[in-house]
Amino acid sequence: MKPVKLFYLKNCPFCRKALTYIDSLKAEHPELAAVEIEMIEESEQPDVADKFDYYYVPTFYVDGQKVHEGGIYPEEVEAVLRKALE
């Protein structure tokens, strides 16, 4: 399984939606429940966030590659989680 990083801000409405989508998808699709996501709140860990190239949150990296940045829909979150399983 490939490592997943999620950069987010706790006050971001798109980030809150992404977190809700993750929980829902893991509940609906048992195979996705195994995907572990390293959560990086960028205002609390700026030293980590500054090492990555992105502007908008939420931003997902899978195996070190940026796969999604900005506003997000459930099917996009599912694609991220499935990419981690490849």
Domains of the chain by range and CATH?
A: 4-85 (3.40.30.10)
Structure confidence by residue, pLDDT tens digits, 27-45: 999 999 999 999 999 999 9
pLDDT of amino acid 42: 96
Asked whether the beta carbons of 38 and 3 are under 8 A apart, the reply is yes
CB atoms within 10 A of CB 22: 23
pLDDT of amino acid 45: 97
The beta-strand segments (E) located in 1-86 are 4-8, 37-41, 59-62, 65-69
pLDDT of amino acid 17: 97
Q: Which of 43, 44, 62, 61 has its CA nearest to residue 52?
A: 61
pLDDT of amino acid 39: 97
pLDDT of amino acid 70: 96
Residues with pLDDT less than 50, the chain? none
